[in-house]
Amino acid sequence: MSRAQISALVFGVGGFGALVAATTSNEWKVTTRASSVITATWVYQGLWMNCAGNALGSFHCRPHFTIFKVEGYIQACRGLMIAAVSLGFFGSIFALFGMKCTKVGGSDKAKAKIACLAGIVFILSGLCSMTGCSLYANKITTEFFDPLYVEQKYELGAALFIGWAGASLCIIGGVIFCFSISDNNKPPRMGYAYNGATSVLSSRTKYHGAEGDFKTTNPSKQFDKNAYV
C-alpha cells in the first residue's frame, strides 16, 4: 500500500467535497459591512439564488427563475463549477481503481496508468474551479473599487475561499497521483542470504583438514621406493 497514493486520495476527495460545498453555497458575494450596519440587512448571492436576511433573524432566498436574465459571468462560473464537480467525481472513481490496495483495476502497470489518469482529472478539476472562483472574484472587486459604480457593492463571500481551497487540494492530490507512477516503475529488490562472517580459526581448520586429505589421497605416497624392494 503506497502512502503517496493514500495522501493523494485524501487531498483529492477532500478537494472534491469542498468544490461541492462551494458550488451549492449562496455566499459567493455578500453586502459590504458599511451598508449592512446602516440598513441592518444582509444580502447574499450565489450561483443559483439570492438570499436576504435582517437583524430580526428572518431569512429568505429567491432562485434565479431564468438563465437568460442571468449575467454572463455567472453563467460562465456555473459551467466551470459544474465541470469541476463532474471531473472531481470521476477523478475519485479513477483514484479508487488505481489504488494498489484495491483488487480491481488489473495489474500494477494498469493501476499505474489509471492513477495517472486520476491525477490528470483532479488537476483539471482544480483548474476549472480556480478559474471560476477567480472570474467571480474579479467581477466583485472591479465593481467594488469602481468610483462610477453607484449600485449595491459586494464583498467576497465564504464560498469563494472554499472553492479556492478545494481547487488547491485537487491540484495537490492530482500532482501526487501523477508522481506516484515512479513507485510502480521501480524494480523489485533482490534478496540475498547472509551466511555470516567466517572466523580465522575455522578457515585455518578447514585448510589443514583439506591438506590432510590431500596427503592421504596423494598417489605419489602409494608408490614409495620401499614398495619395490
pLDDT tens-digit map of 90-128: 999 998 888 877 776 677 788 888 889 999 999 999 999
pLDDT of residue 60: 83
Q: Over 60: is that where the pLDDT of 34 sits? A: no
> 156 pLDDT exceeds 80?
yes
Top pLDDT among 33 and 137 is at: 137
**In CATH, what class is 3-27+70-185?**
mainly alpha
For residue 173, pLDDT beyond 90 = yes
More confident position, 103 or 43: 43
Angle in degrees, 0-180, between the axes of helices 158-179 and 108-144, rounded to the nearest 10: 150
Please indicate whether residue 217 or residue 59 has the higher confidence score (pLDDT): 59
At residue 40, the pLDDT reads: 61
- Mean pLDDT lowest for which of 32-46, 114-128, 151-165? 32-46
pLDDT at 84: 96
pTM: 0.73
- Whether residue 219 is predicted with pLDDT greater than 70 in this model: the reply is no
Check pLDDT > 50 for residue 25.
Answer: yes
- What pLDDT is recorded for position 180? 79
Q: Does the pLDDT value for residue 197 go beyond 60? A: no
Of the listed ranges 19-23, 123-127, 151-155, 159-163, the one predicted with least confidence? 151-155
- What is the reported pLDDT for 183? 58
Q: What's the confidence (pLDDT) of residue 207?
A: 47
Per-residue pLDDT reduced to its tens digit, 52-96:
877 777 778 888 777 778 888 999 999 999 999 999 999 999 988
Check pLDDT > 90 for residue 148: no
Mean residue pLDDT of the chain comes to 79
In the chain, % of residues over pLDDT 70: 73
Handedness of CA 136, 141, 146, 147 (dihedral sign): positive
